[in-house]
Chains A and B, each alone.
Chain A
Amino acid sequence: MNKEQQIATEIVDKIRGQDRKTLSQIYEKGYPMLEKYILENSGNEADAADVFQDAMYLLIKKTADPNFELSSKISTFLFGIGRNLWLKQLTKKQPDHEALVAEIEFDDLPEEDFQKFERTKLMKKCIDLLGEPCKTIIVQFYFFQTSMKEIAEQLHYTNANNAKNQKYKCFVRLKKMMLDKGE
């Protein structure tokens, strides 16, 4: 392994570990380019930030794959993904806009990954909309893998069964919200 490759691997490791300093450096380098593009293509600063952060998220997720290798500069990679995300967002509003559709390149972000990402975003929205105590129960159980017994103690349920009962109701509600697309 030569030195360059070694540095690249180190960076990928840091991204995977969500090292804040590294993320901040990447953000600083990559953001201006995408912001400029989005501002020139009917978006505002809030759109640019949102899309760039989504691209960063996808980069972090990609690094989770142990076989992931950086094939281009990180900022180029982020710009590619961000640009596609933005074009897709635009075409959602104007599905017949052929010029836009033609611009989308699927290399950086295959349709399958994109659909999965849309689900993830929708799920996040639904979790936020769940309200308490459902949000806590669902997040504790499925994300932090906390045991039902501990959740029951945390939330002052008289026993784990009551908490389990409540968790089931929350789960059903969350699934229904996902089906209704978070409406």
Chain B
Amino acid sequence: MSEEEKIALFDAYLRNELSVEDRAGFKTLLDKNEDFKKDFDAYQNTAREIKEGQEYGLIKETLREIHAELVQPKKSILLRAKFIIPIVSAAAILVLLITVFPFNQNGDTAKTENVSADDYSPTDNEEEAGEGEAFYEEATEVQEMDSIIHENYADTNNENNNSVDFLNKVIEYTQSVPLGTSFQISKKGYFITAKHLVYKKRYVQLHNKEQQLAFYTEVIYRDTLADFAVLKCSDSIAKLLNPCPYKIRSKQPNLGDEVFTLGYPKAEIVYTKGAVSSSKGYRSDSLTFELSLPSNSGNSGAPLFSKSGNFMGLIVANNSKKQSVTYVVQPTYIAERIQQLRSKYDIDMSKNYSKNSQKPSYLIEKFTPFIFELK
């Protein structure tokens, strides 16, 4: 009996898939053949260890989340004078954040907490939002899509294992309206998006038609103050990524600066331009600033760039009561937070380079491969 057959037999026995006679035969073999018994015990032991290893991983994951909820980062940006000016105290910001933060349009929390700020609406595609929690099973499904789409995207004509069902699945997937946008910040497989898009989710899918890439990422960080989160894809996917043509740097937006964004209000990338209209955000929140730029659902999580192609922040919300008002998380805040996260994660941004140009079409072409649909 080969090793492989032996293991198949063990599995069949352990899962009760043997016939009555075979089962009896198996038991006799266990009694009589010591080596066989030894192999069987060793196999059972490894199977148990796998189970425990995986369980450990899941428990650890939960505990890490609890840790993140309980233990605040010690160096708070609120202690810095320049960020305090418009608001009386840190407490005020926290209260504000708690009351206005949109989190999830369909979730219960949003229903109660949003009442006081019904003009602040996160720019995500609402009907898609709040699908509930993504658990492990869902993640597996994503991984599955991950491999299918990645392997077969390139040559959809190849009929090898493409059943009609499968093709339909791919088409349905690529045409579905994204929830929002996310963009790459490091060649090592790190992405940024708006926190409310990944509310209650552990895994989300990213998709880029230009690069013909679809894969799942894990939400590794949710900021406590601002509406931003960091995603990480698997290392094998990271190998397929290129260095970003923009740098995540501290930049002060100036009133009147011309800016543009690339996002996914629909299943195609959309270019929108506008200008910085106020240095403070919703109700003078200093972590964000305001744009005069029409944003639609799906723009949430999109990067903002200056006219010449410098990174200028992260789009998170618009104001439903005013026309063309969009809120953006300050690049300085994001850059600082990422810097802090580097002590924990390998967010290597040294390969990022600046691609300055005044020609929008050139910048769009360079940036598009780095901006992903979030599904």
Chain A residues in the interface with B (C-beta under 8 A):
18, 20, 23-24, 27-28, 31, 46, 49, 53-54, 56-57, 60, 119-124, 126-128, 131-133, 135-136, 138-140, 142-145, 147-148, 154-156, 158, 164-165, 168, 171-172, 174-175, 178
Contacts A127-B50, A156-B148 given; indicate if A20 touches B66 (C-beta within 8 A): yes
Selected A-B contacts with CB under 8 Å, 6 pairs: A49-B71, A127-B53, A135-B143, A139-B54, A142-B54, A143-B55
Is A140's CB under 8 angstroms from B53's CB? no
Chain B residues in the interface with A (C-beta under 8 A):
3-4, 7-8, 11, 15, 46-47, 49-57, 59-60, 62-64, 66-67, 69-71, 137, 140-141, 143-144, 146-148, 161, 166, 234, 236, 343-344
For the complex with contacts A124-B54, A156-B148, 6 further pairs of A-B residues with Cβ separation under 8 Å are A27-B67, A49-B71, A124-B53, A128-B57, A143-B54, A147-B15
Is A120's CB under 8 angstroms from B56's CB? yes
**B70 CB contacts on chain A under 8 angstroms:** 24, 27-28, 31
Closest residue on chain A to residue B4 by CB atoms: A168
Interface of A is mostly: helix
Q: For the complex formed, measure the closest distance between the CB of A16 and the CB atoms of chain B, giving whole angstroms.
A: 12
Contacts A132-B146, A154-B140, A156-B161 given; indicate if A27 touches B63 (C-beta within 8 A): yes
Query: How far, in angstroms, from A31 to B70 measured CA to CA in the complex?
Result: 10
Is A23's CB under 8 angstroms from B54's CB? no
Q: For the complex formed, measure the closest distance between the CB of B291 and the CB atoms of chain A, giving whole angstroms.
A: 37
**A120 CB contacts on chain B under 8 angstroms:** 49, 52-53, 56
**A23 CB contacts on chain B under 8 angstroms:** 62-63, 66
Closest residue on chain B to residue A131 by CB atoms: B236
Among B52, B53, B66, B147, contact of A126 (Cβ-Cβ < 8 Å): B53
Is B60's CB under 8 angstroms from A174's CB? no
Query: How far, in angstroms, from A155 to B141 measured CA to CA in the complex?
Result: 9
Query: How far, in angstroms, from A6 to B61 measured CA to CA in the complex?
Result: 30
**A147 CB contacts on chain B under 8 angstroms:** 15
**A132 CB contacts on chain B under 8 angstroms:** 143, 146-147, 234, 236
Closest residue on chain A to residue B55 by CB atoms: A143
**A127 CB contacts on chain B under 8 angstroms:** 50, 53-54, 57
Q: For the complex formed, measure the closest distance between the CB of B203 and the CB atoms of chain A, giving whole angstroms.
A: 13
Query: How far, in angstroms, from A172 to B50 measured CA to CA in the complex?
Result: 13
Query: How far, in angstroms, from A32 to B134 measured CA to CA in the complex?
Result: 31
Among B63, B69, B148, contact of A56 (Cβ-Cβ < 8 Å): B63
Q: For the complex formed, measure the closest distance between the CB of B55 and the CB atoms of chain A, giving whole angstroms.
A: 7
**A144 CB contacts on chain B under 8 angstroms:** 137
Query: How far, in angstroms, from A145 to B17 measured CA to CA in the complex?
Result: 13
Is B50's CB under 8 angstroms from A142's CB? yes
Query: How far, in angstroms, from A136 to B143 measured CA to CA in the complex?
Result: 8
Query: How far, in angstroms, from A168 to B11 measured CA to CA in the complex?
Result: 11
Among A20, A31, A136, contact of B71 (Cβ-Cβ < 8 Å): A31
Query: How far, in angstroms, from A29 to B56 measured CA to CA in the complex?
Result: 22
